[in-house]
């Protein structure tokens, strides 16, 4: 078999699954459909190779398809792209294994072995060990509407990946190999007969269950495997292992808690999400404890364990059966809570220590009795899971918009005859809030009868008081801009009788809010009550999505960098440890990109052992959908945070800062000049992209807009980026960048830009990401949308944008000194090249479908259009 360190196994897998799809298409769709698909595929390849004749024939073939044939053609190309994605993910795992197995190869970049070997000469063993043990990485799974693939299909895709993995074994018999081929065909056939489109929009609780399924299917096993690797590396390089109660990575969730602009997330939903999480956790632990009962038939035990179980013949089984009974009782208790029944009597598990203690007792007894090797198997893995997942798998963050708290307090102050809180100055608000926070009496009037919106906010705080810190993480305030925004949430927690206050996290999103973040936090940390409340630790969230939509990618990236620097300095002045929470998306325009490089490009001192990051939509499947990929990403997060903590990058030179200020000013002027000030831009955007049609997709519980009407500013950042990704113009990631780089070139700064690219991780990561997104785009494809869908009077605007795209690419390549995009990323280049001949027909079909749907043939073709949107998303590998 060819070495997995080459790309040949990947090509073989893609060809194998492509052939299987062709056979399924022939059997299920008929020879005529198969011939049409093959004709289109061959013409697309020839057109991509430069044949104008083939491009013309391709267009005429696609525009000539009748309604009956469009759907199978769209489905065929969409399914092929999904199969290619599976092959690529599997090949990543295969290459990592081959790398690790080859004693002659250098350690893989970002692996534990590579990072520890590189950091050891620069750090004392005790410092390295301490950095790992004190590390706090929070990965927060969110349900933003970007995961277009149905869960039913994702499960089939995962089974295909498992079969490809089994097929790689070198000792397979011909019969076994044939069986795998048959199983692969079954999965491809089942996928073909599975509807790609959800029949209804998922509810917030559907999204929660999907998040918990990610834990069950991959993270449940990946977490202890990662801990074992980390423990081995620590023992090798520091002579001390990973303590049993240490979990460097923990998981959070916004599913069921993110109510910002989503009226479907209510207090009741959050309560049910917390209960479902408890049930799921208890179920997973019950399964593991049952397996341990079967395994630990040993009779040797220390005196401490004997004291608990008496003279039992099999002492471990006695203790573990008691724990299993409590887990099962906890599951029944949760079911009763969800169904509104009286809960069963008995001791349920409400404290993680009640789960941990019997397991630890078994662990230590086995070690003291000479059976430590047994303890270090399944039991150790379970203890690692307890440290990571607790009793609720993922603590849910609450997120709400600052204005909702303002309106709630306004209703209270008006009811009390104190005036309109919303009209008070910031100083007046702060004085009132601090006075009430320090007061022992309640503020809320007994006869208070608010409207539904205010009552919903108050009900949410009641749920916080009921569920407590085991289930809930942070309270994130979107559109925060002033100290009173934070103090308002603290007061509402007090009024609800919250015993263990959630940490309150302001989210600074727009360019103006980012620029004002330091001043806001400085004022907040000067308030004695608040300083005492946070006990030396402040978390601040910074938003990549709305800042990018507001100011453009370059200006937002520089503003985010500077804001982090200022917040680090502010907290240091005030003797407070800072954790930065990065609200990143999947697309480059929303902070997406390779994990390792992104963390290492942050300002010095901004990581310092702790970081929180959102993992959104399709990124969750891409990073954690397969066990091997999940394990690799946990490793990358760990090593990047470790390196950023122990060896942070140097401060950028003052000249580089001056240049970035100039680039930022030029970029935001160009970006806003087009998006906000150019007449006709919004009508052009809506005509040239499937923005309106995306709103009809049942891909998330949250509305696509914050407001029912309005222009680009009313759109959420996700559909804004999703729409441009579909047309391959990818405007949010590059608009303004070309103008800024051209200005630098014209003023003689290009040499300095090349130095910045080579020596400054932040600038290198930025240019790499823009180059990557430009390589994935295609202005010639975007032109097809304009020609068919955009009114003639608006088409010059599209021509201008495509010219700017090409100018931006040329400017970026001058800085990186690459002959063509992605010279430094051959794996990504290969991925783009493989996909283009299959995405191109979908783009052309989408143009045709949009034209037909917009001209009255909606009923028959809307579903085909939705499948087409899904297929392009799969081909581009991200949506938002």
Listed by start position, the domains of the chain span: 1-105+151-194, 121-149+197-298+371-650, 654-863
| Structure token pair of residue 601 | 């490009």
- Which pTM value belongs to this model? 0.92
Q: Which residues pair with 258 in a beta bridge?
A: 399
> What does each C-alpha distance from 284 to 218, 220, 221, 733 come to in angstroms?
13, 9, 11, 41
Answer yes or no: 144 catalytic: yes
Dist CA 369 CA 71 (whole Å): 66
Q: How far apart are CA 270 and CA 397, in angstroms?
A: 10
Residues of the chain short of pLDDT 50, as ranges, are: 1-4, 145-148, 588-592, 700-701, 704, 706, 708-709, 879-880
850 half-sphere exposure, CB direction, 13 A CA radius: 27
| Contact assessment for residue 613 and residue 136, using Cβ atoms and an 8 Å cutoff | no
The structure tokens listed for 463 are 């749920």
**Distance (Å) of CA 48 to CA 54, 793, 833:** 9, 30, 9
User: Exactly one of 90, 91, 129, 144 is catalytic; which is it?
Assistant: 144
Whether 855 is catalytic: no
Determine how many CB atoms are found less than 10 A away from the CB of residue 628.
Answer: 19
Burial class (CB in 10 A: 0-12, 13-18, 19+), 772: buried
The pairing of beta strand 136-142 with beta strand 610-616: parallel
Catalytic residue among 482, 549, 553, 596: 549
Rounded to whole angstroms, the Cα distance separating 814 from 752 reads 12
d(CA 255, CA 140): 9
Looking at residue 588, what is its pLDDT? Answer: 46
């Amino acid at each position: 078999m060819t070495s997995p360190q080459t790309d040949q196994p990947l090509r073989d897998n893609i060809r194998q699954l492509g052939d299987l799809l062709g056979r399924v298409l022939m059997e299920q769709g008929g020879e005529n459909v198969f011939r049409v698909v093959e004709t289109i595929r061959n013409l697309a390849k020839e057109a991509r190779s430069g044949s104008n004749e083939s491009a013309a024939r391709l267009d005429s073939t696609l525009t000539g398809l009748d309604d009956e044939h469009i759907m199978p053609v769209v489905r065929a190309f969409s399914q092929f792209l999904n199969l290619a994605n599976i092959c690529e993910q599997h090949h990543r795992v295969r290459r990592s294994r081959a790398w690790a197995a080859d004693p002659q190869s250098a350690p893989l970049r970002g692996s534990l072995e590579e990072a520890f070997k590189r950091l050891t000469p620069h750090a004392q063993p005790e410092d390295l060990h301490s950095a790992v043990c004190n590390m706090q990485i929070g990965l927060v799974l969110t349900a933003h509407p970007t995961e277009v693939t149905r869960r039913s299909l994702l499960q089939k895709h995962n089974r295909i990946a498992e079969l490809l993995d089994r097929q790689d074994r070198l000792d397979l018999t011909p019969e076994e190999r044939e069986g795998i081929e048959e199983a692969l065909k079954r999965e491809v056939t089942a996928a073909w007969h599975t509807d790609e489109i959800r029949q209804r929009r998922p509810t917030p609780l559907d999204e929660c269950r999907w998040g918990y399924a990610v834990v069950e299917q991959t993270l449940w096993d990946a977490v202890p495997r990662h801990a074992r690797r980390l423990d081995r590396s620590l023992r090798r390089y520091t002579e001390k292992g990973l303590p049993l109660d240490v979990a460097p990575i923990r998981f959070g969730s916004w599913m069921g808690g993110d109510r910002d602009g989503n009226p479907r997330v209510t207090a009741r939903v959050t309560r049910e999400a917390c209960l479902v999480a408890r049930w799921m956790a208890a179920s997973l632990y019950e399964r593991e404890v049952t397996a341990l009962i079967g395994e630990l038939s040993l009779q040797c035990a220390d005196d401490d364990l004997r004291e608990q179980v008496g003279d039992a013949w099999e002492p471990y089984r006695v203790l573990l059966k008691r724990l299993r009974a409590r887990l099962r009782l906890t599951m029944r208790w949760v079911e009763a809570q969800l169904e509104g029944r009286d809960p069963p009597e008995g001791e349920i598990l409400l404290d993680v220590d009640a789960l941990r203690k019997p397991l630890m007792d078994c662990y230590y007894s086995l070690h003291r009795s000479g059976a430590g090797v047994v303890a270090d198997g399944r039991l150790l893995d379970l203890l690692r899971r307890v440290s990571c997942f607790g009793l609720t798998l993922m603590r849910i963050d609450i997120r709400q918009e600052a204005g909702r708290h303002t309106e709630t307090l306004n209703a209270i102050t008006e009811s009390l005859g104190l005036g309109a809180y919303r009209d008070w100055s910031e100083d007046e608000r702060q004085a009132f809030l601090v006075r009430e926070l320090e007061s022992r009496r309640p503020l809320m009037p007994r006869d208070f009868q608010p409207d539904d919106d205010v009552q919903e906010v108050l009900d949410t705080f009641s749920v916080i008081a009921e569920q407590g810190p085991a289930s809930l993480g942070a309270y994130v305030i979107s559109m925060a801009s002033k100290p009173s925004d934070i103090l308002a949430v603290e007061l509402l927690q007090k009024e609800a009788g919250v015993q263990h206050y959630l940490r309150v996290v302001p989210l600074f999103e727009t360019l103006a809010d980012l620029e004002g973040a330091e001043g806001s936090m400085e004022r907040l940390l000067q308030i004695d009550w608040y300083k005492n409340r946070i006990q030396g630790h402040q978390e601040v969230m910074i938003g990549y999505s709305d800042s990018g939509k507001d100011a453009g990618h370059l200006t937002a990236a520089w503003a985010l960098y500077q804001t982090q620097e200022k917040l680090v300095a502010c907290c240091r002045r005030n003797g407070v440890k800072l954790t930065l929470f990065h609200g990143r998306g999947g697309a480059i325009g929303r902070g997406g990109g390779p994990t390792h490089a992104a963390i290492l490009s942050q300002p010095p001192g901004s990581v310092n052992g702790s970081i929180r990051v959102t993992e959104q939509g399709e990124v969750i499947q891409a990073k954690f959908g397969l066990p091997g990929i999940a394990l690799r990403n946990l490793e990358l997060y760990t090593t990047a945070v470790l390196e950023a903590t122990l060896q942070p990058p140097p401060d950028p030179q003052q000249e580089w800062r001056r240049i970035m200020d100039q680039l930022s000013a030029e970029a935001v002027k160009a970006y806003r000049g087009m998006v906000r000030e150019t007449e006709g831009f919004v009508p052009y955007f809506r005509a040239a992209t499937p923005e309106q049609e995306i709103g009809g997709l049942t891909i998330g519980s949250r509305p696509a807009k914050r407001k029912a009407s309005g222009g680009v500013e009313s759109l959420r950042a996700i559909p804004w980026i999703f729409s441009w990704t579909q047309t391959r113009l990818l405007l949010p990631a590059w608009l303004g960048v070309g103008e800024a780089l051209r200005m630098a070139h014209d003023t003689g700064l290009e040499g300095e830009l090349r130095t910045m690219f080579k020596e400054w991780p932040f600038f290198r990561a930025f240019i790499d990401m823009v180059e990557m997104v430009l390589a994935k785009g295609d202005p010639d494809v975007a032109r097809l949308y304009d020609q068919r869908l955009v009114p003639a009077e608006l088409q010059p605007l599209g021509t201008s944008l495509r010219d700017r795209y090409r100018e931006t690419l040329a400017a970026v390549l001058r800085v990186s000194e690459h002959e063509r995009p992605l010279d430094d990323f051959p794996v990504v280049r290969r991925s783009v090249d493989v996909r283009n001949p299959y995405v191109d027909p979908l783009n052309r079909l989408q143009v045709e479908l949009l034209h037909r749907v917009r001209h009255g043939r909606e009923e028959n073709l809307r579903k085909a259009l939705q499948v087409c949107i899904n297929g392009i998303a799969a081909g581009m590998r991200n949506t938002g």
